[in-house]
Amino acid sequence: MLSGLAALAASLCLAGTAAGATRDLTIDRGVVQSVSTTRIVLRELDGSTASIAVGAQTLVLVNGLPATLEDIQPGFVAAVAHRGSNPARLIRAWGRIQPVVDRGVVVSASVRGLVIRTPDGSSLTFRVTPRTRIRWHGLPATMAAVRPGRLVEVVHTRAGVALRIAVRARGAL
């Protein structure tokens, strides 16, 4: 699946005709006018409007990171790959994500993931990427500073991709 995803993502970046580059996929590009759980509406460069169905299988990337439809806001620039009136296969959008902030105690941490326990007792899992910024006592750090038992503040997308992890002193939650 990843190789197919990589091929589809690469094809969106290629210049030329959309149909020739992606085997009958249409790629609509423009500024997001609205987005819902069933449709995304774009204003294309020629001024026309494209309304494209989305579904549960639609892959969403915002600024190159896995995201959800909720992360896409009007005003974002997007490229949407779809086949006819079928739901979009891939939405690549660029814009400023409205992040979510959660705080808790580290349960487990690795270079690819983080699990925390929040004050209400629930567990949250986050994906850590090379673009995740980590700070410990206000200074840049690595995932080595994110150890079980430490308090952290995680700024993340709705899809659970950690954008920033701040390791806090005890009692700072």
pLDDT tens-digit readout, 34-83:
999 999 999 999 999 999 999 999 999 999 988 999 999 999 999 999 99
Q: Which of 25, 21, 26, 24 minimizes the C-alpha distance to 10?
A: 21
Look at residue 88 and tell me whether its pLDDT is greater than 80.
yes
- CATH 2.40.50.320 is right for the domain spanning 100-168: yes
CA distance 96 to 113: 23
- Domains of the chain by residue range: 2-94, 100-168
- Return the number of other C-beta atoms located less than 10 Å from residue 121's C-beta: 7
Q: Does 100-168 match 2-94 at the fold level?
A: yes
pTM for the full predicted model: 0.70
In residues, how long is the chain?
A: 173
Under the banding of pLDDT at 50, 70 and 90, the label for residue 24 is confident
pLDDT tens-digit readout, 122-170:
999 999 999 999 999 889 999 999 999 999 999 999 889 999 999 986 6
Look at residue 19 and tell me whether its pLDDT is greater than 50.
no
Residue 50 sits at the vertex; the CA angle it makes with 47 and 56, to the nearest 5 degrees, is: 150
Topology, domain 2-94: OB fold (Dihydrolipoamide Acetyltransferase, E2P) (2.40.50)
